[in-house]
Amino acid sequence: MRPVFAFLAGGLFGVGLWVSGMTDTRKVLGWLDVFGDWDPTLAFVLGGAILPMTLAWSASSRRAPVLGGAFPARPEAELDRGLIAGSVLFGFGWGLVGLCPGPAMASLSFGGIGGLVFLMAMIGGMLGAPPVRRALDTAVPVA
Amino acid sequence: METEWLYGLAGGLMIGCAAALFLLVNGRIMGASGLLGGLVDGSGRRNGVERLSFLAGLVLVPAVFVLASGGSETHLTGNLGLVIIAGLAVGLGTRLANGCTSGHGVCGISRLSYRGVAATGLYLLAGAITVGVVRHLLGVS
């Protein structure tokens, strides 16, 4: 049953990304353009998405997932170099063309050759992550 | 144009319900970069079928809806050099940060995770600065 519900969740996620406008790079870049003609639509997307998820987190306390196993543990409240450098790098790429990982996959069927090139480059960047992470972790402390 | 926020809200609720379904039923965080990245670098081989099924739904189900609606557009830039640089940065960055807009943004903020809130603040800031520099300083739109 796990693959069935994973497929359903992925499908609903993808349709939601399309309906919300997250697969339209013009809308995404308009939302990031706070110094220009700012488009606030994506605030509704984020707000709309956080609402059901807040309820889901509170429903998950003192329970187990329907299909067994355990809920993911709360990560430690700690910022590491990977999180900081990675988030800045991700934001730079997102702001450059307006695609992030979910919409890049959800728009694969209608994104043309450019969408496919983005996905391939993204997978290439993911392949390069483990050695970069090791280098960041073993680098001499700054402070 | 006045109805765009409604589509945003409706789509956002669908994204949140998908994340809630994946959490409550499968017990998993719905993070697009993590689900794909674990398959790419082999770290998620243990639950590979679950990951592949999620990604199959993510690609195929919107394809059906978009086809039925008569098509859609991403309006992605035609500059493939820019697309490749952006793709590399998004792939490397999201894996180093352990999450993207869905994992840190939707799942992390709703749990008030310190890491999720910090990551979201950082990538929004970096994205806004990038758009500001590219559009308003370099004059490319």
ipTM of the complex: 0.96
Average pLDDT over residues A59-63: 91
- Cβ-based neighbours of A38, under 8 Å, separated by 6 or more: A30, A31
Q: CA–CA separation, B22 vs A105, rounded Å?
A: 18
Contact A14, A37 (CB under 8 A): no
**Any A CB within 8 A of B67 CB:** yes
Q: CA–CA separation, B56 vs B54, rounded Å?
A: 5
**Any A CB within 8 A of B140 CB:** no
Chain A residues whose CB is inside 8 A of the B134 CB are 95-96
Can you give the pLDDT at residue A113? 97
Contact B127, A92 (CB under 8 A): yes
Question: In this complex, do A44 and B51 lie within 8 Å of one another by their Cβ atoms?
Answer: no
A100 residue type, one letter = C
Looking at every residue in chain A, the average pLDDT score rounds to 95
Residue A62 pLDDT grade (very low, low, confident, very high; cuts 50, 70, 90)? confident
**Any A CB within 8 A of B103 CB:** no
Interface test mutation site (partner A, options B43, B76, B129, max chain A beta carbons within 10 A): B76
